[in-house]
């Protein structure tokens, strides 16, 4: 399967999607949204793939005989499309699609994650970033506001006051500050980023797929409910898990003091 604006890599049971518009610092246009959706659909149907990593390709240029590298997860929406009719979108808004995706999705941020880039990271389950990364909801600087979920996902992650500060000012913040306020989960030196993400993804990939899917769903849905409804949702998910082959395998493996082998059944 080939794409124009992303690269899809599969290794073992981990899939990696690389946003690949480096000359535009991986700005998100219609073609990239469509490719991202298609890649995720491809991964969804591949039972071998347990975890998805999303990252961005660096921009490499040669100036006066020297190589210059600029790192970017995504610089945000491609502003050259702002005045074009918004037609032919994927069948579901891509950020919501990622948030509701059945498999865990990790944003591996190296460099800029601005505007829609921050929103893409927020739609993922986890955000890992290198120390050189920058985050920001910069839309206010163009006279508008986040339109891919930033006004809703950011306050749920960092709190209302911090979200207002970032969205109203358009300020960029470092990865260190982003980690401090809860926007980022883990910050590491750039040279350690990929190995850290892969180690975490590999751990997730050993867990029971049905249980992981239900955990994502119960937390996402339950956080908008009152406690009584949320606990009912949790109980239903537990009952579902306990009827699976994976649950029986997990209990058996525990009793036999061995690692379980889950089949997603």
Q: Report how far residue 167's alpha carbon sits from residue 140's, in angstroms, rounded to the nearest whole number.
A: 7
Residue 208 sits at φ, ψ, to 5 deg, of -65, 120
Q: In the prediction, which pLDDT does 89 show?
A: 53
In whole numbers, what is the pLDDT of the chain averaged over residues? 94
Structure tokens at 249: 């395998």
Q: Please, are residues 137 and 169 in contact by the beta-carbon 8 Å criterion?
A: no
Q: In the prediction, which pLDDT does 80 show?
A: 87
- Residue 86: pLDDT over 70: no
Q: Which of 48, 81, 102, 139 is catalytic?
A: 139
Q: Report how far residue 164's alpha carbon sits from residue 153's, in angstroms, rounded to the nearest whole number.
A: 12
- Residue 159: pLDDT over 50: yes
Q: In the prediction, which pLDDT does 2 show?
A: 85
Q: How many helices (H) and strands (E) does the chain have?
A: 10, 12
Q: In the prediction, which pLDDT does 91 show?
A: 47
Q: What's the whole-model pTM score?
A: 0.93
Nearest 10 degrees: CA dihedral of 96, 102, 106, 107? Answer: -20
| DSSP annotation of 13 | T
Q: Which of 89, 119, 195, 234 is catalytic?
A: 119
Q: 4-18, 67-81, 89-103, 147-161: lowest mean pLDDT where? A: 89-103
- Residue 92: pLDDT over 70: no
Ranges of CATH 3.90.226.10 domains, the chain: 6-205
CATH number of 209-255: 1.10.12
- Residue 142: pLDDT over 60: yes
Q: Report how far residue 107's alpha carbon sits from residue 120's, in angstroms, rounded to the nearest whole number.
A: 8
> Could you tell me which residues are beta bridge partners of residue 187?
129
Q: In the prediction, which pLDDT does 56 show?
A: 98
- Residue 239: pLDDT over 90: yes
DSSP secondary structure, 31-99, as one string = HHHHHHHHHHHHHHT-TT--EEEEEEPPEEEEETTEEEEE-EEE--B-GGGTTS---S--SS-HHHHHH
Q: 48-52, 62-66, 101-105, 132-136: lowest mean pLDDT where? A: 62-66
> What average pLDDT does the segment 49-67 reach?
92
Structure tokens at 254: 């525990």
> What average pLDDT does the segment 162-176 reach?
98
Q: 11-44: per-residue pLDDT in tens? A: 999 999 999 999 999 999 999 999 999 999 999 9
Closest CA to 248 of 211, 220, 216: 211
Q: Which fold has domain 6-205?
A: 2-enoyl-CoA Hydratase; Chain A, domain 1 (3.90.226)
Active site residue 234: no
- Residue 87: pLDDT over 70: no
Nearest 10 degrees: CA dihedral of 157, 215, 127, 15? Answer: -150
Active site residue 41: no
Q: 15-24: per-residue pLDDT in tens? A: 999 999 999 9
> What average pLDDT does the segment 238-255 reach?
94
Q: In the prediction, which pLDDT does 67 show?
A: 85
């Amino acid at each position: 399967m080939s794409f124009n604006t992303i690269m899809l890599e599969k290794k073992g049971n981990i899939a990696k999607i690389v946003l690949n518009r480096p000359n535009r610092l991986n700005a998100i246009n219609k073609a990239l949204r469509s490719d991202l959706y298609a890649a995720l659909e491809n991964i969804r149907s591949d039972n071998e793939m347990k975890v998805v990593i999303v990252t961005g390709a660096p921009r490499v240029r040669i100036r006066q005989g020297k190589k210059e590298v600029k790192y970017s997860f995504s610089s945000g929406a491609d502003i050259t499309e702002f005045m074009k009719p918004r037609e032919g979108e994927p069948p579901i808004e891509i950020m919501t699609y990622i948030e509701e995706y059945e498999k865990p999705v990790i944003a591996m941020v190296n460099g800029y994650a601005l505007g829609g880039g921050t929103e893409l990271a927020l739609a993922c389950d986890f955000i890992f970033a290198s120390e050189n990364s920058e985050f920001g909801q910069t839309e206010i600087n163009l006279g508008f506001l986040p339109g891919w979920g930033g006004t809703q996902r950011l306050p749920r992650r960092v709190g209302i006051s911090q979200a207002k500060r970032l969205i109203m000012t358009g300020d960029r913040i470092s990865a260190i500050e982003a980690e401090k306020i809860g926007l980022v989960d883990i910050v590491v030196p750039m040279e350690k980023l990929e190995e850290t993400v892969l180690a975490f993804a590999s751990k997730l990939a050993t867990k029971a797929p049905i249980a992981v899917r239900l955990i994502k769903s119960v937390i996402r849905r339950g956080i908008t409910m009152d406690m009584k409804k949320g606990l009912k949702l949790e109980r239903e998910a537990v009952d579902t898990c306990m009827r699976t082959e994976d649950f029986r395998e997990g209990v058996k493996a525990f009793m036999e003091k061995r690692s379980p082998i889950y089949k997603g059944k």
